[in-house]
Amino acid sequence: MKARSVYGLFVSVASMGMLAAVFLLHALTTEQPVSLSTYYIAHAIRDTAAINVVSSVLLDYRAFDTLGEAVVIFTAVTAVSALFAGSRLSRSDRGSGILVRRSISYLSVFFWMLPMYIVVFGHLSPGGGFQGGVSLAVLIILLNVVFGTNRGSAWLTPARLHAAESYGAIAFVAIGFVGIASGSAFLTNLAIGFPRGDPGNLLSAGAIPLLNLAIGVKVASGLGSIFFEFLSTEEATR
């Protein structure tokens, strides 16, 4: 290595070290303000009546950001549907073997219970609409893989999934507009009269359980729709 290169490397490392030392010294000698995380942990139950602090942040303090995340999923589903417009779902009885089908048939009730529990109890325990919605979408995909699209989509058809996603989005926005109709801000929760309940009980946390349900429906149906769109295209091009 040339001397000039060694010198340049030394100067760069020394500069970064000095800069890191300055930041560290500043952090150690400056009184830090109370962070948002500290406030959320200390006041979440009082402000939102939800004992799951993560849900209180996502669906109360920063609910508008959560709406933006839901819009991302809606946009993705719309784009995929536009790209694969004109394709049809090729129904088939092809699936897994008899042993796998029997096993999934017996366990499907428990598989349904898990995402529903995650969504409904999202304000009380780890989970919520996004996690429960993804779990439900995985179950929809599993049923189609195991039993074939002819049976897997017998009730949860692509058209119904598209409709459910729209209803989930409309429900989320409608709950948000209750705040505006009450003379407050969009997605306002307890301050406009949503029932507080007793923290720790199922019927508590105001609009948070409703928002969790709307998100769960939207995420599950959106991801399920994307699966069907890809499957339709694959079948159509064979």
207 pLDDT higher than 60: yes
pLDDT digits (tens, 9 = 90+) for 56-70: 999 999 998 999 888
pTM (predicted TM-score): 0.79
Higher pLDDT, 15 or 115: 115
Three-state SS letters, the chain? CCHHHHHHHHHHHHHHHHHHHHHHHHHHHCCCCCCHHHHHHHHHHHHHCCCCHHHHHHHHHCHHHHHHHHHHHHHHHHHHHHHCCCCCCCCCCCCCCHHHHHHHHHHHHHHHHHHHHHHHCCCCCCCCHHHHHHHHHHHHHHHHHHHCHHHHCCCCCHHHHHHHHHHHHHHHHHHHHHHHHCCCCCCCCHHHCCCCCCCCCCCCCCCHHHHHHHHHHHHHHHHHHHHHHHHHHHHHCC
According to the model, what pLDDT value does residue 104 have? 86
Report the b/e string of 128-147 with b at 16+ CB within 10 A: bbbbbbbbbbbbbbebbbbb
Confidence of residue 18 (pLDDT cuts 50, 70, 90): confident
Distance separating alpha carbons of residues 32 and 227, to the nearest angstrom: 48
236 pLDDT higher than 50: no
* CB atoms near residue 111 (< 10 Å): 15
| Residue 120 main-chain phi, psi, to 5 deg | -65, -35
Distance separating alpha carbons of residues 187 and 181, to the nearest angstrom: 11
Cβ atoms of 115 and 220 closer than 8 Å: yes
Q: Where are the domains of the chain?
A: 33-236
Confidence of residue 47 (pLDDT cuts 50, 70, 90): very high
* CB atoms near residue 45 (< 10 Å): 17
Cα 64 vs. chain centroid, distance in angstroms?
14
Mean pLDDT of the chain: 85
Distance separating alpha carbons of residues 86 and 89, to the nearest angstrom: 10
7 pLDDT higher than 90: no
Q: How large is the average pLDDT for residues 201-210?
A: 95
pLDDT digits (tens, 9 = 90+) for 79-106: 888 887 777 776 677 777 888 888 888 8
Higher pLDDT, 78 or 211: 211
According to the model, what pLDDT value does residue 238 have? 43
